[in-house]
Structure 1
Amino acid sequence: MTKQRRTFTPEFKREAACLVLDQGYSHTEAARS
């Protein structure tokens, strides 16, 4: 029984990185938003 990994688009990853870097979000806060 393998766990399926979620795939994220490059655009999503860029937006998440911007939230973390520009707005000081933690990675968990960015993931939730």
Structure 2
Amino acid sequence: MLRPWIYADKPLYSTQIKNSLAISYARILHIYKLYR
């Protein structure tokens, strides 16, 4: 019963993960440039 909901939410979930990873990566690069 839960699987269709999981599969339906997967694209949105993956895009949220990619966005959060991109933001964290940008923050790490910014801090790296500041302290270098």
TM tier relative to shorter chain = 0.3 to 0.5
Query: TM-score of the superposition, structure 1-length normalised?
Result: 0.39
Largest Rg, 1 or 2: 2
Tell me which of the two structures has the higher relative contact order, counting C-alpha pairs closer than 8 angstroms and 6 or more residues apart: 1
Q: In proportion to residue count, which structure has more helix?
A: 2
